[in-house]
Amino acid sequence: MQIELGHYLALSAIVFGIGAIGFLVRRNVLVQLMCIELMLNSVNLMLVAFNRYMPDNHAGQLFAFFVIAIAAAEAAVGLAIVISMFRLRKTVHSDRADTLRH
């Protein structure tokens, strides 16, 4: 069996779906952040796969490079917010982050 572009794209779509389901179902903020990382990673895989099949420039790989940098910044700020919320609420349960609701 020859590996086609479609295989990479389907794998990337499935991993994105798993990440999205995790983000919707889990209520632990840390696990939700990990699911965001899963989704970002799957998009990276898709970009790199497209770039391999159109190798006249490095646009896809450079885009994946920037996505990795932005994911690092996002993880840093997100975890800082988690720590701040834990200090305030003594929990990492996202349903308990409801100060603005009342």
Partner 1 sequence: MSGGGEALFAFCALVALLSALGTVALHSPIRAAMSLLVHIISLSGLFLLLHAQLLAALQLLVYAGAIVVLFVFVIMMIGPSVPEPPTMRGMATKTVSVAIMVVLTAILAFSLMPVHMPLIDLGPCLAGEGAECDQFGGVGAMAQSLFMDELVPFELISVLLTVAIVGAIAVARGRSTQEQALAQAKREAQASALAEQTAREQAMAAEVAAHGGHG
- Contact letters (x/-) for partner 1, 29-68, by CB under 8 A? -xx-xxx-xx--x--xx--xx-xxxxx-xx--xx-xxx-x
Q: How far is the CB of 46 from partner 1 (least distance, A)?
A: 9
Q: Does 89 bind partner 1 (CB under 8 A)?
A: no
Q: Measured from the CB atom, is 73 or 102 closer to partner 1?
A: 73
Q: Write out the two tokens for 86.
A: 């834990």
Interatomic CA distance for residues 16 and 85, integer angstroms? 27
Q: How far is the CB of 44 from partner 1 (least distance, A)?
A: 8
> Which string of b and e fits 66-85 if b means at least 16 CB within 10 Å?
ebeeebeeeeeebeeebeeb
